[in-house]
Structure 1
């Protein structure tokens, strides 16, 4: 699969949201690889995913138009239709502050989870060497 790509994908661990059906449906995903031409997304379920959708990546403040290139039980590969699509218009200031506070809360929770996983991995490594 990698020899078919035009660009190298960088490994990532970014929260994403797939938006489809005119914005009426969405699902969370994890962006595992990313390039300017496409991405690999980890999903809990791929059956309900349409062939075309918007991919929001809040950490990059970007929205990509994406098309489905391949599908597996644990994820999908997508190609970006227009990698220069601007982010969605800014919401009113009150909503932006609320959204920003929620994003900070979500990122703090994600950081705490990652710290815990690193600590568990370190403890497991120490047990193996002891």
Structure 2
């Protein structure tokens, strides 16, 4: 079987939600592989899908506009209509993670000081 993908997909195991009919219809799916330009999805049953729909991936907090590319018994393949810009997202994610780590380290230090104060109070 020839692979016509523009990018190599990374194997993942993510929960997804397919949304269509202006948000009035939706159902869960499993994202099995993902790249910046498309994804492979596993559906719980043979569902009728429109040609274009939104794919929401909660763990990435990202919604992709997807077009149905292929369908087989074991799932579907989609192409994202707008390419994902991986580099800026990675930088933003890295900055957010560093900020969150700094917040957690400060909170951890404050809790240690509080515990040390409580230990001194109970020893006295």
Q: Which has the larger radius of gyration?
A: 2
Structure 2 gap segments, 5+ residues each? 86-124
What is the Cα deviation at residue 48 of structure 1? 1.3
In the superposition, the TM-score normalised over structure 1's length comes to: 0.61
Tell me if 1:53 matches 2:45.
no
Note if contact 2:37-2:84 (Cα within 8 Å) is conserved in structure 1: no
Query: What stretches of structure 1 move > 2 A for 4+ residues in a row?
Result: none
Structure 1 gap segments, 5+ residues each? 86-130
Relative to structure 1, the CA distance from residue 2 to residue 19 in structure 2 (aligned partners, 3 Å threshold; closer, same or farther) is farther
1:6 corresponds in structure 2 to 6
* Corresponding residue pairs, total: 85
2:27 corresponds in structure 1 to 27
In the superposition, the TM-score normalised over structure 2's length comes to: 0.64
Relative to structure 1, the CA distance from residue 76 to residue 16 in structure 2 (aligned partners, 3 Å threshold; closer, same or farther) is same
Classify the secondary structure of the residue corresponding to 1:82.
coil
Tell me if 1:67 matches 2:60.
no
| Separation of aligned partners in 2, 1:72 and 1:15 | 20
| Separation of aligned partners in 1, 2:56 and 2:46 | 17
Deviates more, 1:8-17 or 1:42-51: 42-51
Classify the secondary structure of the residue corresponding to 2:56.
strand
